[in-house]
Amino acid sequence: MLRVIGNSSAESIRRVSRLSNGAPVLIKGDVRDTAILDQVFDDNAIDAVIHLAGVKAVGESVKNPQKYYDINVSGSVCLFGAMQRHGVSNVVFSSSATVYGVPETSPLTEEMPTKPHNPYGQTKLMVEHILRDMTAANLGWRALLLRYFNPVGAHSSGEIGEDPHGIPDNLFPFIGMVATKRKPLLDVFGADYNTPDGTCIRDYIHVVDLARGHVKALDYLLSDRATDNSAKIVNLGTDQGSSVFQVIKAWEAACGFEIPFQVTNRRAGDVPAYYADSRRAKALLGWQAEHDLAQMCVDHWRWQTKNPDGYGK
Ligand code: UFG
């Protein structure tokens, strides 16, 4: 039996049950554990899989690449093998805009070159390739490869949101810690980039829009619009870039007080600016982002204030 190393909390599933019509079934296991996977497919009538199981810390992937190839790539191979054995051939895969590497221009369309510059990004691209090869092999597979930009925010109820272990690497959860006084100030990693205010620009997308993108993806895969041999790549972003300073301002508007920060050195590996072109998501899936940066901050702040200790692990 493999060790389960997930970051998630069973409490989040209990809260999803309260917010939704039906309680999700939780089976705890490791995506590399083929015995558990076979059991899940044996015990349930499954039409499609949304594959989100993976590790995603860029810095950690540089220090411990083997962990990333093992969980993200081997884990995906185990999952696809179990699907194949049980005749399940529809999959939505959680990929990332990180596969574009250091893009020269934005907005980014799905045709633009992929050249990930860290092991995490490599693993996402490798799984994309596996799915493209599997669909091309004419085995009846259909896949949607969703390239997420920067997911942030929380459910508007304030009941479910991001609860990272330890010190968060990412901007929104770090600002959340500063806003709740668990950190004295935010380090802004560089204000000397070639951008309008000198700070890096990203395409932040509300997690609820991201979740809706998955529902649309499933609808598409299970409809007659999808054909065999297709592995469609789809960007999920807002097509709007926001700088770190703009994010700080939006947070201040959401929480009603100043977020203390200091400008420090650039963070190694940061890309100056990128944002999505999501026209394909609209054309293929009928999806587009509905929440703006202000709403992302309001919802993240509500989650943070209602749950200062996250899920209370
Ligand atoms: N930043 C700060 N201070 C912080 C944290 C971040 O200034 O304390 C800045 C970063 O330098 C960057 C921006 O805020 O300019 C966004 O940084 P994040 O760490 O929040 O997000 P990244 O764009 O670096 O990466 C995220 C995910 C990746 C994913 C990528 C997809 O962490 O896993 O988006 O585009 F691949």
pLDDT tens digit string along 134-174? Answer: 999 988 999 999 999 999 999 999 999 998 888 888 999 99
Give strand pairing partners of 91: 49, 143
Average pLDDT, the chain: 94
pLDDT score recorded for residue 298: 98
Give strand pairing partners of 96: 148
pLDDT score recorded for residue 270: 85
Nearest atom, ligand 1, residue 124 CA:
36
Show the ligand 1 pocket: residues with CB < 6 angstroms.
56, 58, 96-98, 149-150, 169-171, 174, 186-189, 200, 202, 244, 267, 270
User: What stretches in the chain show pLDDT beneath 70?
Assistant: 1-5, 313
Residue ranges and CATH numbers for the domains of the chain are 10-306 (3.40.50.720)
Quick one: which H or E segment has residue 262?
A: strand 261-264
Of all protein residues, whose CA lies closest to atom 18 belonging to ligand 1?
A: 170
pLDDT score recorded for residue 128: 98
Choose the residue to mutate in 56, 146, 148, 170 for probing ligand 1, maximizing ligand atoms within 8 Å of C-beta: 170
pLDDT score recorded for residue 7: 81
The set of catalytic residues is: 120
Quick one: which H or E segment has residue 213?
A: helix 207-221
Distance (Å, rounded) from C-alpha 111 to C-alpha 134? 20
Query: Which whole-number Å values give the CA distances from 99 to 4, 145, 147, 163, 188, in the listed order?
Result: 26, 12, 8, 25, 24
pLDDT score recorded for residue 1: 54
pLDDT score recorded for residue 2: 64
pLDDT score recorded for residue 212: 98
CA of 170 to the centre of ligand 1 (A): 5
pLDDT score recorded for residue 129: 98
Nearest atom, ligand 1, residue 266 CA:
11
